[in-house]
Structure formats: structure tokens, C-alpha cells
Amino acid sequence: MDAFSNLATGFAAAASFQNLGFALIGCLLGTLIGVLPGIGPIPTIAMLLPITFGLDPLSSLIMLAGIYYGAQYGGSTTSILVNMPGEASSVVTCMDGYQMARKGRAGAALSVAALGSFFAGCVGTIFIAAFGPPLAALAQQFNSPDYFSLMLLGLLMAVVLAHGSVIKAIAMVIVGLLFGLVGTDVNSGAVRYTFGVSELWDGIDFLPMVIGMFGIVEIIRNLEEKEVDRTAISTKFRDLWPSASEFAQSWKPVLRGTAVGSILGILPGGGAVLAAFAAYTVEKKVAKDPSRFGKGAIEGVAGPESANNAAAQTSFIPLLTLGLPSNPIMALMMGAMMIQGIQPGAAVMTSRPDLFWGMVASMWIGNLMLVVINLPMIGIWVKLLSIPYRYLYPAILMFCVIGVYGTNANAVMMILTAVFAVFGYIMVRFGCEPAPMVLGFLLGPLMEENLRRSLVLSRGDPMIFLQRPISLTLLICALGLLLVIVLPNVRKSREIAFQEGG
Amino acid sequence: MLRIRSPQDLGAGLVFIAIGVAGVYFGQDLTYGSSSRMGPGYFPIILSYLTIMMGLIIGGRGFALDGPPIQRIPLRPISFVILAILAFGFLIEQIGLALTTVAVIFIASAARKQFNVKETVVLAIVVAALCVGVFIYGLSQPMPAWWGR
Amino acid sequence: MQYTRRKATAIIGAGLGAPASIGSARAQNYPSQDVRAVCAFAPGSGADVLARSVVERLRPLMNRTIIVENKPGANGNIACEYVARSKPDGHTILLHAASATASNMYLYKKPPFDAVRDFQLAATINRQPYMVVIAANRPWKNLDELTAHLRERGDKASYGIANPMTAVLGETYKKAFDLKAVQVSYRSGPDGLNDLASGNLDFMTLDPVLAMAQAREGRVRILAASTKDRLSVVPNVPTLHEQGAKDVDIVGWWAAHVPAATPRPIVEQLGKWVTQVIEMPEMREFFAKIGGEPFVNSPDASQRLFVREVDVWKDYIRVAQIEPQ
């Protein structure tokens, strides 16, 4: 196949001593910022952009890409260790990863996350090499109505995320949608629910919300519990590595997560965000015993982690083949290419094959490096957990606030963090989980925009959602998922009614 | 007679109703538009009413179905943690990262009843050094290390 | 708020030298400390790339550290306000589309700054046209054919826009030929391309960077440019003006803004440096790549253009029926 000779070109370009060095720097830096909450890849890449002026284009892109997936890896680490997601895609990892850590299986969770990600990264790379252009063509078929239907499907997945009450999860999704609307309305330019605070014009920032609702709430809850003796956590190799049964439980989720992530990653907009959530939904639905989810099911780590890494790889496809960035980080990469005088797009493939395929090859190299860097670190991370909590939590809190502040140096961000911490805490006490709300928050603006656009295009005719095959298919999936959610619930409430009657 | 059978549900319902009402109230000035040309107010108002509706259902369940009680909320941890976050926001620009870290660590440590001054001093110094080193010198984050700039 | 925020961000990379006192600021000592170049868009955006390219070449001339500070948000208002309120000593420069700074005077009911009163332009940087594009698979060969099609479709036609500038272009085009196409807005140009390709949109108005890149990729065709005269960068693209839309003259142009109270010698000196940068051959090449050309003006000429631009926007907002927020 042609893809292989191309990949060979790529490896020849990417495996130069210099490029390997930059890949390593990127991966190390990415892991570091991923582990330090809040300092996401976006500010880091932005900070490094000027440095890349002086570099060869391929080297600079390799380094920046390394930061991107390094940060993905690192973000999962904090999710598992301290319930603190650095980015949208690691919110899902919190749910079961952190629970595993609480049960003393942090090592296993981290290993599975690393290995799953590596596998997904490999597949993602091959995917780009083999199917990049046709997949990009598929992504181009997505019109506004299709996006709306995709978002609707995504929101239903958010409901499946919850392990408690379905109706509360639905309510939280709607509240998330509402929070997502704060700020300037794209269609009309109107400013909504900002209460005169200009910092809110661009909407509520993601970090204050998740750091508040996940990281801070977790600290408060831990403080309420009696301090457990954590020095007993074992860091023996046997206990860091997943057990045979954990392996057996993980490999299928890794495969499924990779598939889900590779496909959703190509879609510009919410695609990559949806990947981890979708993978979790799939795992929970195929599991024999869904009640284990949210309590430390290893499938809930393996699936989403593979998915988000696969999506991280395939999200390069629209940029590399169409010249269209699919998320803010891709927009940054595009900026980096343009500074170097390269106009991203399919033309790069023919005019600079060494650059295009070199980048693809560097993705695989980067993933390999990450696994090599991260596996030995797992012991250190787990060891960190054995520090008494009374020393640990003030430091975690400090990292949380610096992270939030680092993205937007502004006291309003701290107030938002505090507000969301209190809100999240109250809602947890009332039995409502934050994860569905976060997904609603992320998808809300996209959903509204595309709904409104579709209806303008159809002059108010809702049939537009049924006339397009992609949209129709997605809506049918959504309906199916809805039935899957509602049916067992109806049965359950009947049982409850029955018990009460009896 | 109405009896609260699931306080968690009732509480959650009330919060949702409050959010929905706020959404309707603060969104009333936004143009509603029509379904073919939705204004900026269309989606928020629909969502707000949906939130109210969900609130009513969930709150109503609080009277209909038995549920777990609301766990006691100890005020000490949450107050000090929130205070620490706010303190960071207001101090960082005034006295710089090093001293702010010390303040935050002290406030945060006070969230535990077994507050130990000596331990906290050491912890504060270590974390402050770490933060200044990593975030300011290492990652050149946009914040002052000291006061007066 | 603004004051404290400034203090916080002033720290990036600072640490050199005592703060320059405003009174004694003379051009020969300028710059006496690190310089901050403020960009109103997120890192990596087209605007950021432009700002950084200029800064990169300004650095050796000014012989000082120049830090690019991204202050995205509120359609540029946050960055504009920040620079307008900064110390008027030439060490805080807004590198931004002056056309956008001007437009915010009418896009918002209560803009947090007054463009003409708060800013002095030190130099213009580049100018670029906006473009009317159609999907490559559509049959129309020129603007006339598109216009005829739109006229036939009446209010069943749709077109996409992505920012106030493109909205104004779309509406002035419609007004010139009395068309009734319905506007659909997108968060960014790329978001609308799928709807354009599938035929949901009859045309889009785009910024030149995206339009030219997509035209090169063969996905769209450019039918017209928004400037009155053809710019050197797209000599083969006819303008709307020459195709019968006499009123259309929409130019996006960038400038280096400093606070109005900045001492004159510093403004002049900064203007000279910026002009020196944009006259470099590699900058011309860079501007061409993003669909524009260097635009050279003295501080006074720049400021005159700026005053006029603010005036022009009053009409634009009315024509485009944009509701100020």
C-alpha cells in the first residue's frame, strides 16, 4: 500500500537526531504541564510559538504536537490521582479512575490509561496514514443539522454517564446547557447573562467550572472524612501493574474506545470532546454489571482514555488534509505552520511530503516516548499519594488556583471557581453529579448555534433534521439510546411502586 | 398530608427551580424571535422553563418517594477552602505569589481542626518555593513573585 | 479591575529597569523597558500570527524584549480598553485591526473606550480585502451570474458570515443589487464551509486568509473583493465596486495603537520602526500569503484614516442592520 512507503518517508524525516530530541522535549513538557493542573496545552504552545520561529518547520511542529498529546497523557494522571481533570476529555477519567485510586489501584489505573493511550495512538497514526483524506471528506459532509443531531446524541450520552438518578442527570445536563449560553451569542452578537461582567462576555471558562466542581469539591469532601492512613499504599511492582483479570477486562474497552475516538476525533467542533464521553457510554452499556461504573470499574478508564488519545491523533486529519482546525489547539498548530510559511491543507501532502508524513510518523514516535516516560513514573505518582493528606491537600489546592489563574489572570476567575465549588458541593449533597452538567456546558453553545442555523437555513422547518441522512441516522441512534436509558428505569420505578404497594 | 420523604430530591428540585427562575428573569430582555429566526432569548428561555419543570418533578419526588437524608454539612472545611480560593484571587496581585502561597496554605490548613502551626509553616515555605520556582521561573506564568509591581 | 489586571500581566518578563517616568520620556531613551505588544485574539489565531510576525522583526529594531500579550475577548474590547488605560509611554502597543477598533464604537451601546479620543495610531500595518466566495461546484463564473441567481431565488437564498466585517460586506452587496438572501452567522469562517459545499448556502463572505487558502485547495471560488480598487495581492479578483456595487469599499486594515497621551516623539519613533518592519520584503511576502499588502502611513495620516473609519462604521451598522449590544 502507498501509505507504507509514505510512512517510510515520514519516519526517515522524523527520526533524525534533532527531531527525536524535539519530540522528547515536547513530550516531557507536555507531561509536565498536563500533570500541573490548569496549565493546559494552549497557553504552553502559545508561549513556545516564538521559540519555534528559529526552528525547522518539521521540528517545531513535532515539538508542539508532542506537547499536545503529552498534556493529554498528563491530564489523565491528575484525574486519576486527585480527581482533577485538566481538560474536557479527562473529566470522564475522573469518574472511575479516581475511585480506583481510592481503592489503592491507582497504579493499575495509570498503567491501563498509559497502555490504552499508546495503543490508541498507534491506531490513530495508522488511521491518519491510511484513511486521512477519505475521512476528511466524510467530516466535510457534516452540515449544521447534522451537528445539532450529533450534539443531541452527545447529551443523551451525558445522561448515561450518571450512576445515580437519571432524572437528576437530565436536569444537570439542562443546567449545563444554560451555563454554556452565558456570554456573547454568536448568531446575534447579543450578550447574555453576564450581569455586566465583561470577563463573562466570552462565556464561563471551562477551568473554573471543572476545577471547582471536581478538584475543590473533592478536597472538601475528603476533609470531612476521617483521615485514613495512606502510608500503607503499596508501590511494589506487582501492585502497580494491572492484574491479569484487570488486563482481561481492559483490552476490549481499549479496542472499542480506540474505534470510537478515531472516528469522533475527525469531526471539527465537539467531536474530540465527545469521544471520551461516548466511549464511557459504550462501556457502561455493554458491561454485564453497569452498577460497577462510577465505583472504580477499570473499563471506565481504559475505554475513555483510549478514545481521547485516538481522537487527539485523528483531530489532526482536518487540519492536515483540509487546512481546517478542528479545535483551539489545532488552530494554534495552524498558526505555527503559517508562521513558518506553510499553508496547511492537502497541498502540503504533495508539496512537502517530508513534512506531512514526518508529522504523522512523529505522532507514533511521540506516543512511544510517552509510554516510555510515563510507565516508570507511575511508581512515583503512586508514592505521592502516600504523603499524608494534611500535607497534600493544601498543595493540591494551590495548584488548582494557580492553574485557573494561569489561564486568565483575573480575580473573577477565582470567584467563579469558588462559586462552582459551592454549587458543585451542594449538588453532590443533593445527589446530583457534576459530569453530565460539564458535558451539557461544553455542548450547549454548539447545540444552540447549529439548531438556530439549521432552522434559518430551512426557514423554520424542523423537517431539515430528518431529511439529511447523517442527521437522521444520528437521531435514530439518539432515540435508541433514549429507550435504553428510559426502559430499565421505568421497570425500576415500577418495581419500587410494587414494593411500596406490597 | 405532605411529608418530606426524600430531602435530597426536594433540595435538588428547589435548586433547579431557582436556576430556572433566574434564567427566565434575567433572560426576559433578550429577544425571543420565532422558530425560523430564533432570537438570542429563544433557547435560554426554553431551557429555563425546562429546568423549572425538572425542578418541579424532582422536588415533587421528594414528597412521593423515600430517599436518603442529606448528609450533615460540616461548615469548617468548606468555608476555609473557599476562603483560601478567594484569598488567592485578591492577594496575588497585591503581594505576589510567594506570600500568597503562604497565606493560602495557612487558610487551607485551618480547614482541619487539628491545625498545627509548626507543620504549616514548613509546608507553606516548601510549597511557596516550589510554586515560585515552577510557575514563575519554570513556566513564566503571568503572575508576580513578589509585591510592588 | 482594569488597574489590577494590568499590574498582574505587567509582570510577564518584566524585572528590568526602573519604570520610565512619563514626563521625561524622550525618543532617544525609548524604549527604556520591556515592551508589551497586545493582541486582541487568542494565541494561534490569524491575528496572533500577524502580530507575532511584526513583533519578531520589531524586536531587533527596538533592541528590547517585546512580549506578545494575548488579551482575547469581548470582540477586542478587552484588549482595547486595556491598552487605552495603560501608561502612555509607548511601552504598551496594541497591534490590532484599526477597522475593528473603529467598528466597536457602533457595535456596542457602551463601548469601554473611545476609539478616536483614547488612541493615537503610530503607523498602519497592512490592508486586506474581504471576499465573496461560492462553492467550487457551483456554476456561476462571476458576480453577475451569482447576483442573477440570488435575485431569482429571492428570500430562499442564504449566505454565511463569520464576523461583523463579513456581515457588513454581505449586507452592502445585497443592498447594492437589492437582493433578499438570508444571513446565517457562524462562529468562524471554517464552520460555514460545510454548509457552503453542500449548497445550503449560496455564498459566503470570508476574510482573505481563509478565502485564498480554500481557493487554492480548490474548494471555493472567489468572485469579488470588497475594496474599491484591486489590491496588488489579488490583482485578478474583480472588486464589487467595479462590478456595479459603487458603495462598497470595505478594507480591513491593521495599525499599531498607543494611548492618545503618548508623547509625540515616541509616537513618531515607533511609527518609523513599524514602517521599517512592514517595508521588509519578507513581510510583503507574508502579507501576500494572508491576502493583504503592506500599508504605509505616517502617524497623522493613520489617525485621519482612523477618524474616517469610525464615521464610516456608523453607516455600515445601519446598512447591515446590526443591533448594537
State pLDDT tens for residues C215-263: 888 889 999 999 998 988 888 899 999 998 888 889 999 999 999 999 9
Low-confidence winner among A307-311, A326-330, C88-92 (lowest mean pLDDT):
A326-330
Rounded to the nearest 10°, the torsion over CA C199, C203, C209, C212 is 80
Distance CA(A435)–CA(A426), nearest Å, equals: 14
Q: Does C107 touch chain A (CB under 8 A)?
A: yes
Whether pLDDT at C22 is above 60 = no
Residue C49 is predicted with a pLDDT of 80
State pLDDT tens for residues C199-209: 999 999 998 88
Whether pLDDT at A236 is above 70 = no
Whether pLDDT at A283 is above 70 = yes
Mutate to test the interface with C, among A151, A329, A338, A471 (most CBs of C within 10 A): A338
A164, A165, A494, B2 from A497: Cα distances, Å: 18, 16, 5, 18
A291, A293, A296, A299 from A288: Cα distances, Å: 9, 11, 15, 11
Across the range A120-149, mean pLDDT stands at: 83
Residue C5 is predicted with a pLDDT of 35
Low-confidence winner among A53-62, A392-401, B90-99 (lowest mean pLDDT):
A53-62
Distance CA(A383)–CA(A377), nearest Å, equals: 10
Across the range A113-120, mean pLDDT stands at: 90
Residue A12 has a CB neighbour count (10 Å cut-off) of: 13
pLDDT band at A367 (very low <50, low <70, confident <90, very high): confident
Closest-CA residue of B relative to A33 is B139
- Decide: residue A461, CB within 10 A, 0-12 exposed, 13-18 middle, 19+ buried: middle
Per CB-CB distance under 8 Å, the chain C contacts of A345 are 213, 216-217
Per CB-CB distance under 8 Å, the chain C contacts of A324 are 190, 193
Across the range B134-146, mean pLDDT stands at: 74
DSSP state of A213: I
pLDDT band at C169 (very low <50, low <70, confident <90, very high): very high
Cβ separation C7–B144 shorter than 8 A: yes
Mean pLDDT of chain C: 85
State pLDDT tens for residues A36-58: 755 667 667 766 766 666 678 88
CA distance C24 to chain A (A): 31
Residue A50 is predicted with a pLDDT of 61
Across the range A398-419, mean pLDDT stands at: 84
Cβ separation B43–A452 shorter than 8 A: yes
Whether pLDDT at A88 is above 80 = no
Across the range B32-49, mean pLDDT stands at: 88
Q: Does C185 touch chain A (CB under 8 A)?
A: yes
A2, A11, A134, A261, C108 from A7: Cα distances, Å: 9, 6, 17, 22, 52
pLDDT band at A387 (very low <50, low <70, confident <90, very high): confident
CA distance C60 to chain A (A): 14
Residue A495 is predicted with a pLDDT of 56
- Map out the domains of chain B as residue ranges: 7-64, 75-138
Whether pLDDT at C10 is above 60 = no
Class of domain C131-243 (CATH, top level): alpha beta
- Map out the domains of chain A as residue ranges: 2-501
Q: Does C269 touch chain A (CB under 8 A)?
A: no
Which CATH superfamily, name and number, covers C2-128+251-319? Answer: Bordetella uptake gene, domain 1 (3.40.190.150)
- Map out the domains of chain C as residue ranges: 2-128+251-319, 131-243
Cβ separation B57–A167 shorter than 8 A: yes
Q: Using CB atoms, which chains have 3+ pairs under 8 A with A?
A: B, C
Distance CA(C262)–CA(C274), nearest Å, equals: 16
Residue C184: enclosing H or E segment and its boundaries? Answer: strand C182-185
Cβ separation C7–B149 shorter than 8 A: yes
Cβ separation B93–C8 shorter than 8 A: yes
pLDDT band at C159 (very low <50, low <70, confident <90, very high): very high
State pLDDT tens for residues A160-183: 777 678 889 899 999 999 999 998
Mean pLDDT of chain A: 81
Helix axes A106-140, A2-14, angle to 10 degrees: 120
pLDDT band at C43 (very low <50, low <70, confident <90, very high): low
Percent of chain A with pLDDT over 90: 12
Residue C15 is predicted with a pLDDT of 32
Residue A270 is predicted with a pLDDT of 59
Across the range A411-430, mean pLDDT stands at: 92
Percent of chain A with pLDDT over 70: 86
Exposure string for A215-236, b = 16+ CB within 10 A, e = fewer? bbbbbbbbbeeeeeeeeebebe
Cβ separation B140–C14 shorter than 8 A: no
Cβ separation A409–C9 shorter than 8 A: yes
Percent of chain B with pLDDT over 90: 50
Across the range A366-391, mean pLDDT stands at: 83
CA distance C249 to chain B (A): 29
CA distance B142 to chain A (A): 6
Residue A234 is predicted with a pLDDT of 55
> Regarding predicted confidence, which is higher, C10 or C250?
C250
Residue C4 is predicted with a pLDDT of 36
> Regarding predicted confidence, which is higher, C140 or B71?
C140
pLDDT band at C296 (very low <50, low <70, confident <90, very high): very high
Q: Does C182 touch chain A (CB under 8 A)?
A: yes
Closest-CA residue of B relative to A217 is B78
Across the range A392-413, mean pLDDT stands at: 82
Q: Does C190 touch chain A (CB under 8 A)?
A: yes
Whether pLDDT at B112 is above 80 = yes
Sign of the torsion formed by the C-alpha atoms of A20, C50, C44 and C70 = positive
CA distance C195 to chain B (A): 17
Q: What is the DSSP string of B88-145?
A: HHHHHHHHHHHHHHHHHHHHHHTTSSS--HHHHHHHHHHHHHHHIIIIIIIT--SS-S
pLDDT band at C3 (very low <50, low <70, confident <90, very high): very low
